[in-house]
Chain A
Amino acid sequence: MRVFLKYIILIFVLVAPLGLDAQVEFVAKVSKKKLGLNERLRIDFEMNEDGDNFEPPDFEGFRVLGGPNQSISNSWINGKRSYSKTYSFFLAPLRKGAISIGQAAIEIDGERYKSVPVEVMVTEAVEIPKDGNNADYLASENVHLVAEVSNTNPYLNEAITVVYKLYVSNQVSITSNWREIDSPKYADFWSQTLDQKGQLQIYEGQYRGEDYRYVILRTTVLYPQKTGELSIEPLTLDVPIDVRSNRRDFFGRFMTTRVNKTISAGRRTIEVKPLPLENRPDDFTGAVGYFDFDTSISRTELDAQESLEYSVTVRGEGNLKLFELPKPQFPNAFEVYEPARSDKISTRTTGMRGSVAEVYTLVPQNQGNYPLPELRFSYFDPNLERYITKTAEDHVVNVINGPEQEFAELSSSSQTTTTVAADKDRFRYIQLEADWVPKNPMPWFGTWAYWRWIVGLILLLPLWFALSLIRERYLSDTVARAQRQRKRLIAQYLSEAKAQQNNPTAFYAALERSLHLFLKAKLKLETSGLSKENIRTLMTQQKLDPEAVQRLIGLIERCERARYAPTTAVDVQNDYSEAQEVISMVNSTKK
């Protein structure tokens, strides 16, 4: 049952407005909602049907200066009647603060209607009391210039847009052109202004909750170049505003008054965030936005002294004009010319967009393979709030023909640069034969082992001296022994002769025999073949001292003579010593 009742009520609620064709309205309108203590307020109680028994509110907090004034307007437009009956009061506030004007009541067709209470703000006394009908006042109340900032807390170098909108309420109109008194200056910004071209487009919009029309005067794209609080100076315009006055002209139209008003968009402050320091790449040059990065070369194979182009391109959206492109490094055998920069940038309300390219002209001087190193480009993405590094691919330039490869040996004397002969101007093939050596040879020079070698060799000297000394001593020993032996031998040989010294014949016989014996032993001879001639030749053959031979022969002759012709003229003593001497001589010459 209750559910059913609910439905019945719902249907009534939905259907009720349809039946009220001519709805009764009873409203209270104030000329201003905010006024100074020394100003006046007009309040109208308006109804669209004739009513009786008007009962004003008590206007608590106000003093009634005038009223109620009653006015009735009744008009038919296209067969449609519009009627209004107004009771007006002029009020002066008695105190500051929010004052509520209470409900007024009216009786229309036997029904009692009440207006909605109105709240009015009373401020301190103003210097010039504002008249609610003053054109100047109306103009300033109904035309507003607003600077809209897309982002008041951007990153450094992140694009922000400032849109200047002129709001005009329905009560006033602007029919002629305005004049710009003060253009905003954007210190610490890189700015580009996008002026509206041609007819201004009129949009419908709301300004502080009320319906307004507005035009976009200008859009400025700003790139903050400094961190911290930056202010945008206001734009100030001198606008001629047509304000409808209460007076009517001859034809019953409202007269308009033109008021020149200076309006400005307030100063705006922007808090610019610095780019984060953490994870900032070393090669970051200040690019903020979204980019693609690419490098390209015009040709990969060419001859020396021909040219090729190497281009570095960044395309995308962001502060394209405000950063340096990465600088490529080229092989030293390339002649590099200053890059030509080409910008294809269009600025939109969201920021710069397009591509920036730097084209390097390169002229290789020598043949060979030249790898051009890969290039990196880093930028900050304000949406992802992190740095992004993009790497372009590397390229290889093959210089096929070229002048002779010149190489100056760097470590040799720098005066002469040797140019290699023509048959050596190609990159040479590998070597197919190798001389293998151990990789880490044992250090030898300067080690103890080495010095031991040296000292060992030097020690050979005293060793040799010692050895030769010993040998000498040994040798001298043998000489003495031989001499002793020889003396003994001679003594043996001559012992018989010595015994016969007193008998010359026997002496000489013994001497001759002993000489023969000695020669036999000496010359390894038989007694039979022992003639003087034989002895002489043999002894000469044996390279004996000729003098000794002569004396020996002489001695033998004397012995024979003394034996066969015994005379007195003999000198036994002398011959004996002669024999001793000769034997010793022969012995010493022949070892």
Chain B
Amino acid sequence: MMSRIIYLSVFLVLLGPHKGLSQGQAENWFDQGNQLYKNQQHKEAILRWEAVLESGAHSSAIYYNMANAYYYLNDLASSIYYYEKALELAPEDSEIKANRAYVQNALIDVVREQPKTLFQKWDEASGQLLSVETWGWLGILFIALFVFAVIRFNWVDLPAAKRFSFVMAVLSLMLFGASIFFGQKTVSYSKNYRWAIVFPQEMSVRSGPRLSDDALFELHAGTKLRLLQAQDEWHEVELADGRRGWVLSQDIKPL
């Protein structure tokens, strides 16, 4: 508890000048970018928004705006990249999904999703339910509730109230366990499901991490890949349809 406060204060001191400056300045730059976008100065708008991102704060809106600007600059790979970034922060935003669909239509690769088993679906969904932070707070909340319920059990005399407290204690303990479980699940999901976007116009996916290895298939700008493992300057990747191969790390940009 104490150490956390120390961490936080150290963190704030380290980032202090930036953060202190940013909150107002970032807001200002963000609005300037929006204004530039309105005037169709997409390149300048992106420069402004990038400056905002340098300040250490981000939001789904700024990524979404950048993606839209890149779309107008016909940079599809960057556009997709920032839509995906925006969706990481706001997974259910329909505007982001609608505009991303426009860009996906203009991409060259079509990756058909492989049908998943129920367990896989459940596994993936459970990793994306809530953010790690939220699960953490829920865990704290439920353990506090459990402690309260146990104390109340000992406090009250009426049998009905005692019974209620008991049920509450058991329930909150179970919910605490669930919160920790899902929190761990989310952590491992974000560890296992790391994504990247293809940037060059065309690149080969090879059977191994060498240039001499066979080129299995070609991918084009804007395609989303899942990162599996890395060796030297190579990454093993997986497509949504289950195809796997190795690509040069310089050709992809991790989200």
Tell me if chain B binds chain A.
yes
Residue of chain B at shortest CB distance from A468: B154
Q: Chain A residues near B81: list those with CB within 8 A.
A: none
B58–A407 CB distance below 8 A: no
A419 vs B227: C-alpha distance when bound (angstroms): 30
Q: Chain B residues near A431: list those with CB within 8 A.
A: 60-61, 64-65, 95
Count, A-B residue pairs, CB within 8 A: 166
- Chain B window 84-114, contacts with chain A (Cβ cutoff 8 Å), 1 for yes, 0 for no: 0000010000110111111111111111010
A457 vs B145: C-alpha distance when bound (angstroms): 10
Residues of B in contact (CB 8 Å), total 71
- Chain A window 378-401, contacts with chain B (Cβ cutoff 8 Å), 1 for yes, 0 for no: 000000000000000010100000
A407 vs B53: C-alpha distance when bound (angstroms): 29
Interface of B is mostly: helix
Partner of A437, one of B65, B89, B136, B184: B89
Closest CB in chain A relative to B89 CB, distance in Å = 7
A396–B102 CB distance below 8 A: no
Residue of chain A at shortest CB distance from B155: A468
Partner of A405, one of B71, B102, B240: B102
The answer to whether B59 has its CB under 8 Å from any CB of chain A is: yes
Closest CB in chain B relative to A151 CB, distance in Å = 36
A338 vs B121: C-alpha distance when bound (angstroms): 39
- Chain B window 200-227, contacts with chain A (Cβ cutoff 8 Å), 1 for yes, 0 for no: 0110000000000000000011000000
Residue of chain B at shortest CB distance from A444: B136
Interface residues of B in 93-149 (CB under 8 A from A): 94-95, 97-111, 113, 115, 121, 124, 132-133, 135-136, 139-140, 143-144, 147
Closest CB in chain B relative to A293 CB, distance in Å = 16
The answer to whether B16 has its CB under 8 Å from any CB of chain A is: no
A457–B105 CB distance below 8 A: no
A449–B3 CB distance below 8 A: yes
A431 vs B23: C-alpha distance when bound (angstroms): 18
Q: Chain A residues near B221: list those with CB within 8 A.
A: 373
B102–A449 CB distance below 8 A: no
A449–B7 CB distance below 8 A: yes
Interface residues of A in 403-460 (CB under 8 A from B): 405-407, 409-411, 413-414, 420, 424, 427-446, 448-450, 452-454, 456-458, 460
Q: Chain B residues near A373: list those with CB within 8 A.
A: 108, 201, 220-221
Closest CB in chain A relative to B102 CB, distance in Å = 4
Interface residues of A in 45-79 (CB under 8 A from B): none
A436–B140 CB distance below 8 A: no
A445–B183 CB distance below 8 A: yes
A457–B108 CB distance below 8 A: no
Partner of A453, one of B1, B61, B220: B1
Closest CB in chain B relative to A429 CB, distance in Å = 8
The answer to whether A366 has its CB under 8 Å from any CB of chain B is: yes
The answer to whether A332 has its CB under 8 Å from any CB of chain B is: yes
Closest CB in chain A relative to B233 CB, distance in Å = 19
Interface residues on A, range: 35 or more
Closest CB in chain A relative to B221 CB, distance in Å = 8
Q: Chain B residues near A435: list those with CB within 8 A.
A: 59-61
Partner of B58, one of A330, A413, A439: A439
Q: Chain B residues near A439: list those with CB within 8 A.
A: 53, 56-58
- Chain A window 318-349, contacts with chain B (Cβ cutoff 8 Å), 1 for yes, 0 for no: 00000000000111110000000000000000
Closest CB in chain B relative to A433 CB, distance in Å = 6
B220–A410 CB distance below 8 A: no
A410–B113 CB distance below 8 A: yes
Partner of A333, one of B7, B27, B105: B105
Having A332-B108, A411-B124, A456-B1, one finds 6 other A-B pairs with CB under 8 Å, namely A332-B104, A405-B102, A410-B113, A428-B68, A441-B133, A454-B143
User: Could you list which residues of chain A lie within 8 angstroms of chain B, going by C-beta atoms?
Assistant: 329-333, 365-371, 373-374, 394, 396, 405-407, 409-411, 413-414, 420, 424, 427-446, 448-450, 452-454, 456-458, 460-461, 464-465, 468
User: Could you list which residues of chain B lie within 8 angstroms of chain A, going by C-beta atoms?
Assistant: 1, 3-4, 7-8, 11, 23, 26-27, 30-31, 34, 37, 53, 56-62, 64-65, 68-69, 71-72, 74, 76, 89, 94-95, 97-111, 113, 115, 121, 124, 132-133, 135-136, 139-140, 143-144, 147, 150-151, 154, 183-184, 187, 201-202, 220-221, 240
